[in-house]
Amino acid sequence: MADKMISKLRGIYDRYKELSEKMSDPEIIADTARWTEIAKAQAEISETALKYAEYAECERQLSDAAEAEKEETDPEMKEMFSEEVLSCKSRLASLKEELKILLLPKDKNDERNCIMEIRGGAGGDEAALFAYELYRMYLYYCERHRLKVEEVDKNETELGGIKEVVLNISGKGAYKQLKFESGVHRVQRVPETESQGRVHTSTVTVAVLPEAEDVEVEIRDEDVRVDVYRSSGAGGQKVNKTETAIRLTHIPTGIVVTCQDERSQLKNKDKAFKVLRSRLYDYYNSKNQSEYDAHRKSLVGRGDRSERIRTYNFPQGRVTDHRIGLSLFNIDAFMMGDIGEMIDALAVAEREAQLQNI
């Protein structure tokens, strides 16, 4: 293993031991807040530190076995030490790959909740209908993986489609599980309204944003215009007689957020600010981190959202992700939320791309 990587791993292991000692210090134990902070820091590096300790121990065993093999004269014992040398070398190679993965840069947003926005694109009513099907697909997926979904805003069509829907998705690793879904989803099929059986192509855009914490984005009162209005559904249905719907306009950026899901104006306002905060977090990151913007195009799932990422071909029963060239021929199960294989493949591809840069 490269000296630079070994040096980094030793530093992590030394830091782990230092934090472990501090956690046993009576003064720190008495300070709950400080102890919790140290425990969290220790937990973040524990897997890497302990894996390195295992690697170092395996190296020591290899050295001992190799020395014993060299000095041994008894044929049977010599063969035994030779087998131990081979076993240690195999284990070291495996540990080396595991340590490489553990040293990969972590996405700080992975464990956060997320905001998902689904909008019908090109294709009119057919795009809106497919937007509804994607919305349902993600609901099924979230249910399978115990992620909680709250609607923030939904704009339906008279035919049962969705012009746009905004969801707040919470649970362990919600953003990590869904971040690769950002982009343009293309559908190829014969619409129900098509009388001549021709295949149409429509698009739906999906955006997945990590939920921002209050301290990460400062929203000044004077920068936000708050409008209240009566909420309504498709075709004038579900009209609310009181003004509970909220529209927030962030004046410096022009970002607009609406929420009319709750009957309470206060709850709608809270949800809307949560979405606004996440959009601003994404906006400022994209605007200020030019290197990040350039680099993310090379990583799976981080491409420009204006680019097509996936095609759903119903006549062929095929779903193809263009970022990794993977096609699955299980479109019916896929649309029922069975998308884990695709998400796992995207995660593996991103990790392999990162490993190549080490």
Residues 74 and 63: their CA atoms lie apart, in Å, by 19
Closest to 41 in 3D by CA, of 73, 12, 84, 76: 12
* Model confidence band, residue 284 (pLDDT cutoffs 50, 70, 90): confident
- Which pLDDT does position 288 carry in this prediction? 60
Q: Which pLDDT tens digit goes with each residue over 288-315?
A: 655 444 444 443 444 344 568 999 999 9
Bridge partners of 153? 166
Residue 149 above 90 pLDDT?
A: yes
- The bridge status of strand 148-156 relative to strand 162-170 is antiparallel
Could you tell me what percent of the chain has a pLDDT over 90?
62
- Asked if residue 180 lies in contact with residue 110, where contact means CB atoms within 8 angstroms, the answer is no
* Model confidence band, residue 263 (pLDDT cutoffs 50, 70, 90): confident
- Which pLDDT does position 67 carry in this prediction? 94
Q: Which pLDDT tens digit goes with each residue over 100-109?
A: 888 888 888 8
The runs of H, that is alpha helices, within 72-178 are 75-102, 124-144, 174-178
Which tokens belong to 184?
A: 């343009």
Interval 115-123 mean pLDDT: 92
Interval 57-83 mean pLDDT: 93
Topology annotation, domain 216-288: Double Stranded RNA Binding Domain (3.30.160)
- Which pLDDT does position 290 carry in this prediction? 53
Spell out the long-range contacts of 217-224 with Cβ–Cβ below 8 A and sequence spacing 24 or more: 217/277, 217/280, 217/281, 217/284, 219/250, 219/273, 219/276, 219/277, 219/280, 223/250, 223/251, 223/252, 224/248, 224/249, 224/250, 224/251, 224/276
Burial class (CB in 10 A: 0-12, 13-18, 19+), 357: exposed
- Which pLDDT does position 304 carry in this prediction? 42
- Which pLDDT does position 159 carry in this prediction? 85
**Largest Cα–Cα distance of the chain, in whole Å?**
95
Higher pLDDT: 195 or 84? It is 84
Residue 130 above 70 pLDDT?
A: yes
In Å, how far from its chain's centre is CA 338?
17
Could you tell me what percent of the chain has a pLDDT over 70?
88
How much is the pTM? 0.72
- Which pLDDT does position 299 carry in this prediction? 39
Bridge partners of 119? 164, 205
> What sign does the dihedral 284-287-290-292 (CA atoms) show?
positive
* Model confidence band, residue 254 (pLDDT cutoffs 50, 70, 90): very high
> What sign does the dihedral 322-324-327-332 (CA atoms) show?
negative
Q: Which class is 112-211+305-358 in CATH?
A: alpha beta
Closest to 205 in 3D by CA, of 291, 88, 113, 303: 303
